[in-house]
């Protein structure tokens, strides 16, 4: 017997083999009922077997215990939130090995009825698909039922929103009274950095003489704590050049930061504060509504229409691959391609004219 009465409570004494094949014993006390003790024992032994003959909820914990050593903290928080809210409640007691394509389709249909945005549906589905891929790769699950069921949602939302310079300046006039937010918006619009990169900036990251900003870290507010992490990707570590007017704006701003240390954050607030400011500024200025992240898209759009190459834009934005830039902003390139074709036409006609003049002179 592995479950015992111990005074007014119950305890479990479970025997198992660890990953090296050694015999182990695990004791757990303090259960109010025999049933609670047996459920704990079942779940514990399922996890130790390292098999797909395990209920979904227990396998999710195995998955998270492994992945938390390989993924960023904020990524893990997002994965846990989505799984606990939209996935685990449906599959909770099902054995992982018994979940079929039909089960996945039924779950998808429930999500579709909720009317979620396409991008959110895609995110939810990808979390479940990633878990099954993990089971296939490391626990010999025969196949991933999500693949046969097909995906739901879309990777991208509808048409990308962004501001022109004129719209941005109209918005900026409505936040003149918020010194910190104002300079934050200026940096987001004129450098294309991510909001987390902005909020992680320290005085040490700014070189006024060279007119550059070094992006080396990112800021998040996680579980009520300020957390500084590595940037999104290796290529996110970069140096961004600043136009002269932005350097002057920064000099003016830092002159008001009395007593700031070189390693102190220059913008000591959170993303939610900036989101509140942009919503209020949009209401007061009357410009079209965009998200905070769309300031990054606005910068990219401006560079594209200035004729900056995709490779240069990718380097400035910190994209891992130039293909990311091309895919993200593909809808903005047709007009640029038309201009390029027009320039080629002009070059062709000018060259033909020169040849005709030479023929005339020779004749």
Helix (H, G, I), strand (E, B) or coil at 255: coil
Q: With respect to residue 188, please indicate whether it lies within any of the assigned structural domains.
A: yes
* Domain end position, chosen among 149, 176, 201: 149
Q: Which of 257, 295, 292, 276 is nearest to 164 (CA)?
A: 295
Helix (H) or strand (E) holding 280: helix 271-285
Domain count, the chain: 3
Q: Flag whether pLDDT at 170 surpasses 90.
A: yes
pLDDT digits (tens, 9 = 90+) for 243-299: 999 999 999 999 888 888 888 999 999 999 999 999 999 999 999 999 999 999 999
Q: What is the CATH number of the domain that holds 232?
A: 1.10.443.10
Are 226 and 323 contained in the same domain?
Answer: yes
Tell me the Ramachandran region of residue 115: left when phi exceeds 0, alpha when psi lies from -120 to 50, beta otherwise: left
- Sign of the Cα pseudo-torsion (252, 256, 262, 266, in order): negative
Flag whether the pTM goes above 0.75: no
Q: Which domain holds residue 315?
A: 165-328
158 within domain boundaries: no
DSSP for 338-353, please give it: HHHHHHHHHHHHHHHH
**318 and 349 part of one domain:** no
Helix (H, G, I), strand (E, B) or coil at 202: strand
Poorest-pLDDT segment among 27-36, 219-228, 312-321, 345-354 = 345-354
Neighbours of 131 (CB within 10 A): 24
Report how far Cα 324 is from the mean position of its chain's Cα atoms: 14
Distance CA 192, CA 26 (A): 53
Q: 360 falls in which pLDDT band (50, 70, 90)?
A: very low
Q: Report the distance separating Cα 252 and Cα 248, nearest Å.
A: 6
Residues 310 and 338 in one domain: no
Q: What size, in residues, is the chain?
A: 363
pLDDT in tens, 106-154: 999 999 998 888 888 999 999 999 999 988 988 888 899 999 999 998 8
If asked whether residues 84 and 105 sit together in one domain, one would say: yes
Summary mean pLDDT of the chain: 86
Q: What residues contact 60, with CB distance under 8 A and at least 6 apart?
A: 83, 88, 131
| Same domain (yes/no): 45, 140 | yes
Q: Are 131 and 230 contained in the same domain?
A: no
Tell me how far CA of residue 285 lies from CA of 170, 174, 272, in angstroms: 6, 6, 20
């Amino acid at each position: 017997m592995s479950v015992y009465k111990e005074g007014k409570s119950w305890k479990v004494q479970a025997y198992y083999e660890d990953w090296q094949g050694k015999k182990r014993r695990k004791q757990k006390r303090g259960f109010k009922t025999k049933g609670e003790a047996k459920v704990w024992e079942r779940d514990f032994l399922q996890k130790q077997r390292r098999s797909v003959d395990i209920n979904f909820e227990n396998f999710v914990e195995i998955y998270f215990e492994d992945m938390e050593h390989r993924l960023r903290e904020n990524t893990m928080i997002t994965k846990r939130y989505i799984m606990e809210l939209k996935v685990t409640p449906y599959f909770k007691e099902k054995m992982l090995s018994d979940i079929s394509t039909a089960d996945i389709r039924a779950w998808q249909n429930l999500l579709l009825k909720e009317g979620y945005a396409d991008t959110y549906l895609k995110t939810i589905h990808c979390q479940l698909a990633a878990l099954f891929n993990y089971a296939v790769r490391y626990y010999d699950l025969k196949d991933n039922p999500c693949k046969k069921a097909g995906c739901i949602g879309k990777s991208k939302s509808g048409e990308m929103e962004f501001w022109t310079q004129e719209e941005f300046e109209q918005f900026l006039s409505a936040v003149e009274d918020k010194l910190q937010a104002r300079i934050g918006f200026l940096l987001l619009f004129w450098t294309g950095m991510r909001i987390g990169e902005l909020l992680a900036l320290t005085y040490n990251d700014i070189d006024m003489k060279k007119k550059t900003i070094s992006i080396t870290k990112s800021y998040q507010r996680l579980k009520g704590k300020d957390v500084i992490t590595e940037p999104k990707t290796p290529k996110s570590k970069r140096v961004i050049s600043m136009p002269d007017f932005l350097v002057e704006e920064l000099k003016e701003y830092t002159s008001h930061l009395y007593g700031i240390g070189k390693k102190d954050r220059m913008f000591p607030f959170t993303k939610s504060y900036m989101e509140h400011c942009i919503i209020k500024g949009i209401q007061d200025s009357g410009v079209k509504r965009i998200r905070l992240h769309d300031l990054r898209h606005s910068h990219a759009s401006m560079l594209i229409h200035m004729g900056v190459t995709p490779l240069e834009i990718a380097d400035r934005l910190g994209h891992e691959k130039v293909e990311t830039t091309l895919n993200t902003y593909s809808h903005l390139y047709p007009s640029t391609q038309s201009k390029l074709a027009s320039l080629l036409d002009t070059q062709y006609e000018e060259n033909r004219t020169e040849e005709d003049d030479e023929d005339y002179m020779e004749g």
